[in-house]
């Protein structure tokens, strides 16, 4: 008995959270069995079991995989480029006031502009293939990474820089021993934001102009009243976002072992 209680208390958080989701799904599933939906409404209505069936069919026909592959490619390429550009530029702008002054106007102006305004141009220039989407993902993801890295570098403790210098550290060692560890948390927070924006970029980009990808699949299904297919897309995006959020949180808590508990959550 106590073992059962222990089992519960250790996992209470997950059991309650998971249980509530399960409850909602059951409630949703039972709606058509409890009330008679008017014909017009039932056209737009679906149930979890139907979504699951559709998902299975699409899986068998290899359709979701194909769309997923395109979306994932856009996401990974765009985010990868954003990391490749955002991190070094953030570090450089944080350390050098000349670079800071040079790039700051662009960063501020571009970051303040809603990224969607670039979409028509990008599609004109890059076409309906993956590269217009890669670019929109890049534009969305690069700024949170750049700005957070920059903030982290700027917030470095001068005293700690002096401490390691006094023990004979050179510029590179100062970077490695103080500036980087100090910025790491900021960078991870930036990464979390960047992932959210990257996923948004994929969805919006594909809604607007694409022939392949989960977003395109959803847009097409919606115009054909295939509510089940739209929900399959929603579920996949939710699952992916959740996985990424949890992964980044894991990384974050690994990196914050040296921090007092209270400061842990931003």
Closest to 255 in 3D by CA, of 172, 191, 160, 170: 191
Judged by CB under 8 A, the stretch of 57-65, 146-154, 155-163, 196-204 that binds another protein is: 155-163
Maximum separation of any 2 CA atoms in the chain, in Å: 78
Output the smallest distance, CB 92 to another protein, in A. 21
Residue 94: CB partners within 8 Å, gap ≥ 6? Answer: 100, 149, 150, 151, 152, 153, 154, 179, 183
166 is a contact residue toward another protein (CB under 8 A): yes
**Site for another protein contains 257 (CB under 8 A):** yes
Does the protein bind another protein through residue 169 (CB under 8 A)?
yes
Q: Which positions from 177 to 206 touch another protein by CB under 8 A, shown as an x/- string?
A: xx--xx------------------------
Only one of the segments 76-84, 120-128, 141-149, 164-172 lies at the binding site for another protein (rule: CB under 8 A); that segment is: 164-172
Is residue 234 a contact point for another protein (CB under 8 A)?
no
Q: Is 251 in the site for another protein (CB under 8 A)?
A: no
Rounded Cα distance, 158 and 163, in Å? 9
Of the pair 185, 219, the CB lying nearest another protein is at: 185
- Residue 165 found at the interface with another protein (CB under 8 A): yes
**Residue from 106, 168, 172, 223 that binds another protein (CB under 8 A)?**
168
Contact 110, 143 (CB under 8 A): yes
Interaction pattern, residues 103-142, with another protein; x per rule: CB under 8 A: ----------------------------------------
Q: Which stretch binds another protein (CB under 8 A): 69-77, 106-114, 160-168, 232-240?
A: 160-168
Residue 177 beta carbon to another protein: minimum distance, rounded to whole angstroms:
7
CA–CA dist 41, 73 (Å, integer):
36
Nearest CB to another protein, comparing residues 116 and 164: 164
Structure-token pair, residue 161: 């820089």
Cα separation, 199 vs 211, whole angstroms: 17
C-beta of 114 vs 260, nearer to another protein:
260
Nearer CB in complex with another protein: 164/193? 164
- Positions of E strands within 38-85: none
Q: Let me know how long the chain is.
A: 266
CB 198 within 8 A of CB 82: yes
Buried b (16+ CB within 10 A) or exposed e, 138-177: bbbbbbbbbbbbbbbbbebeeeebeebeeeebeeeebbeb
| Whether 193 contacts 148, CB under 8 Å | yes
Positions that interact with another protein (CB under 8 A) = 159-160, 162-169, 173, 177-178, 181-182, 257-260
């Amino acid at each position: 008995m106590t073992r059962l209680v222990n089992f519960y208390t250790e996992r209470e958080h997950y059991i309650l959270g998971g249980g509530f989701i399960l409850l909602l799904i059951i409630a949703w599933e039972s709606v058509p069995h409890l009330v008679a939906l008017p014909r017009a409404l039932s056209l737009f209505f679906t149930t979890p079991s139907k979504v699951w069936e559709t998902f299975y069919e699409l899986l068998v026909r290899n359709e979701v995989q194909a769309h997923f592959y395109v979306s994932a490619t856009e996401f990974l390429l765009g985010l990868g480029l954003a990391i490749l550009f955002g991190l070094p530029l953030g570090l450089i702008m944080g350390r050098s006031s000349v670079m800071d002054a040079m790039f700051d106007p662009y960063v501020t102006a571009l970051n303040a502009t809603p990224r969607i305004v670039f979409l028509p141009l990008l599609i004109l220039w890059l076409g309906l293939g993956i590269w217009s989407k890669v670019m929109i993902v890049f534009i969305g993801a690069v700024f949170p990474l750049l700005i957070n890295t920059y903030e982290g570098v700027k917030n470095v403790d001068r005293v700690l820089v002096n401490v390691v210098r006094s023990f004979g550290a050179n510029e590179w060692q100062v970077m490695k021993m103080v500036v980087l560890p100090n910025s790491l948390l900021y960078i991870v927070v930036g990464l979390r934001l960047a992932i959210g924006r990257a996923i948004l970029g994929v969805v919006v980009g594909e809604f607007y102009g694409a022939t392949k990808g989960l977003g395109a699949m959803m847009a097409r299904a919606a115009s054909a009243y295939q509510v089940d297919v739209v929900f399959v897309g929603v579920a996949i995006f939710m699952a992916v976002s959740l996985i990424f959020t949890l992964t980044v949180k894991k990384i974050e808590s690994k990196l914050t072992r040296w921090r007092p508990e209270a400061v842990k959550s931003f």
